[in-house]
Structure 1
Amino acid sequence: MRPSRRERLSIWTSSRKSACRRAGWITEPQRAGPYWKVLRGSNTILSALRPGRIVRPMRGPVLIAGAGAVGSVVGGLLAAAGSTVTLLGRRAHMDAVRARGLAIDGLFGTHRVRGLECATAAEDLRGPFGAIFLTVKAYDAAGMVDAVVPLLDGDGVLVCMQNGLGTLEPAAAAAGRARVLGARVIFGAELPEPGRAMVTVCADPVLIGAQAPADDEQRRAAAWARALAEAGVPAEPTDAIVAELWAKVFYNAALNPLGALLDLSYGGLAEDPEARAVMDLVIGEAFSVARAAAIALRWPDADAYRAEFYGRLVPATARHRSSMLQDLARGRPTEIDAINGYVAARGAALGVATPTNVTLTRLIRARARVAERGAHSPVDGRRSTGVPWKP
């Protein structure tokens, strides 16, 4: 089924393209990508990922605060759809984007996006921004929030896209709860080289919502979900973002540390009976903590979640490799504290035992400390590190 006339964006003629390109509303032509089916309630919305579509920009420029793989995809596609976008990222990547534009390929289509503003330090940014997408790792989120929140305009919104839990609260304290949206992301991307982002897996649309959604806050969430979907990133709004973030923690807590410790893809973990048994324990413990925290989950019990996990989520991301493995290999901190460490700490506060999550957190911490004492990563020989965690 094709999108209705109202739901899809017009494919303009070449004469109109020239005028709109001058207005900054169009990307250069590239090979068309796939259609994406996005479910929103009972309505099915098909967002056509078509180069050359005209999308009027959302009000105010957009900042991608942490232009790694996911941030580059989000920022690049929003820019291709007409938004004015600034990327804040590492120097090598930003230099390549300035020189050649941003190349995006993989599951969301093939694009070459030019005209992006690039910065390598927060002090070089020039606001105000109508929206800031916080796409740094969880351990960098608090510091980045402090640096970029002053750059939000009066009606601006901060969209937090981290793995794990514990970033929405400090963001709300800094920006005000009404100006902060959470986003649950289950698409994977890589940076094969500076200036290029590749979308490798996508298990579900991005979900965007407010922590305690009033009508105005949910309208903002719906507007940005629509903007992402129209730009080619499958997305939809949710009125239960905290529960959805907990569900993402179930997924990450089961897969990320084991994938890092065993050097297996997500599909490989599910195929190994011993790894699968450990993942079952991780999910069961995390589910019990969420229940004790009065989180309104979509599944009646952990078995129901496991059925979806093994039946749909893992197959959709079977070839993906743990970001924690990549972080350890590159000598960067991991997000263990926001995932299994968060489950363990919250469980301790609520009186729920989480021995498997505690053990995995300690193993990742030990893995990092061994590297700090001079051992080398089995992945590529580089030193690795981690962030402090207290059980």
Structure 2
Amino acid sequence: MMSNSVILVAGAGAIGSILGGMLHDAGHDVTLLGRRAHLEAIARGGLRISGLLGDRTVTGMTLADDPARLGRRFGLIVCTVKSYDTESIAARLADRLTDDGAVVSMQNGLGNIESLIESFGRQRVLGARVIFGAEIPSPGSAHVTVFAQPVAIGPAPAIHREDSPALAARARAIAAMIDAAGVPAVGVDDIMPVLWTKVLYNVALNPLGAILQQHYGALAGDPDVKPIMDRAIEEAFAVARALGVALPFSSAAEYLKVFYEQMIPPTSVHRPTMIRDLHVRGRTEIGALNGKIVELADRLGIGAETNRMLTRLIRAAERARRRAMKTQGER
């Protein structure tokens, strides 16, 4: 990956804005594709980045609120849209990637790599695990709230097969570029174990945090909530094991110990973005998280009733919120 790569961040929300802003500030040519209000604020006063990766104002990025307005091709596309938008954005950007370019899924949940491959082809798609938290306090600004571990980028050998070694080398080059821009990142040979480790974390915390509107520490400390989280994780762990994912844990019990003792403490005051997604959009990424666990479990013939319950509760909450939004809009 050349130092002067032309980069598109497809989905300039909080995470995408941070990545794009840091890369542009490091000298790369970055285009942000996102929502109009946020981009208009950036056009007026620059992108104001604050929080755990330092404070800076980034100017000079190219801004677009519609893929149709992108007038060139890109050597790297960083996909940070919500998982339910992956298929549609990929179809619209398929001709915007150079022949030797790469697209990296920096998204929550499972199924995004496969969706991107449908449009871009197996040899040009990488996965990534992002486990830092960020928010947009106001249009034109992005604030890093928590940074748990470096961004991990790599292929999925079970999907990429013989292309994996070449893609792993490309992932290391992209990770080195992002790391040099001030966002800690590493390349890995197999992204699926780290993706699944985050999925195990998300299936417990995201839906319950959204339903109860609580931060992670409160969820872990509640005697009625903790058994539900335990069971959601145990079911997801069983699915990963059945799929042959090389999780770095010998058992669900070992993962749960790490989850409560090492993962929760540094993110204890963090609230899932699913809370805001539910309130602002009436739509969440539940389908790529608990819903995907249920889909895979059904295919494998194993149980996932806790994940099924959480999926149904969030989908009911989505419908209720959309009805409320519609009623408010009619007033």
Any residues of structure 2 matched to 1:243-322 within 5 Å, and which?
Answer: 243-322=193-272
Offset, 1:375:
7.9
**Structure-2 separation of matches of 1:210 and 1:374:** 42
C-alpha distance 375-97 of structure 1, shift in aligned 2 (>3 A): closer
Q: Which position in structure 2 is the counterpart of 1:36?
A: none
**Structure-2 separation of matches of 1:373 and 1:79:** 41
Q: Deviations over 1:228-260 (max 9, x none)?
A: 111111111111201211111101100000000
C-alpha distance 116-332 of structure 1, shift in aligned 2 (>3 A): farther
Query: Which of the numbers 274, 279, 282 marks the counterpart of 1:329?
Result: 279
Q: Which position in structure 2 is the counterpart of 1:207?
A: 152
Q: 1:83 and 2:28 equivalent?
A: yes
Which has the larger helix fraction? 2
C-alpha distance 375-208 of structure 1, shift in aligned 2 (>3 A): closer
**Structure-2 separation of matches of 1:228 and 1:116:** 17
**Structure-1 separation of matches of 2:268 and 2:113:** 29
Offset, 1:155:
1.1
C-alpha distance 285-91 of structure 1, shift in aligned 2 (>3 A): same
Query: Which of the numbers 8, 12, 17 marks the counterpart of 1:72?
Result: 17
**Could you say which structure has the larger radius of gyration?**
1
Q: Which position in structure 1 is the counterpart of 2:136?
A: 191
Q: Is the 8 A contact 1:330 1:382 kept in 2?
A: no
Q: State the superposition RMSD in angstroms.
A: 1.6
Any residues of structure 2 matched to 1:123-162 within 5 Å, and which?
Answer: 123-162=68-107
Offset, 1:320:
1.0
Q: Structure 1 runs of 4+ off > 6 angstroms?
A: none
The aligned amino acid for 2:57 is R
Number of residues of Structure 1 aligned to a counterpart in Structure 2: 324
TM-score, scaled to structure 1: 0.80
Moved more, 334-343 or 274-283: 274-283
Q: Which position in structure 2 is the counterpart of 1:237?
A: 187
Listed as ranges, the gaps of 5+ residues in structure 1 are: 1-55, 384-391
SS at match of 1:188: strand
SS at match of 1:67: coil
Offset, 1:322:
1.4
Greater RCO structure (CA 8 Å; 6+ sep):
2
Listed as ranges, the gaps of 5+ residues in structure 2 are: 158-162
Q: Is the 8 A contact 2:4 2:29 kept in 1?
A: no
Q: Deviations over 1:312-331 (max 9, x none)?
A: 11111111111111111113
Q: Which position in structure 1 is the counterpart of 2:178?
A: 228
Offset, 1:65:
0.2
Q: Is the 8 A contact 1:57 1:83 kept in 2?
A: no
Q: 1:113 and 2:73 equivalent?
A: no
The percentage of aligned residue pairs carrying the same residue is 47
Offset, 1:57:
6.2
SS at match of 1:274: coil
Any residues of structure 2 matched to 1:17-56 within 5 Å, and which?
Answer: none
**Structure-2 separation of matches of 1:334 and 1:131:** 27
**Structure-2 separation of matches of 1:243 and 1:169:** 16
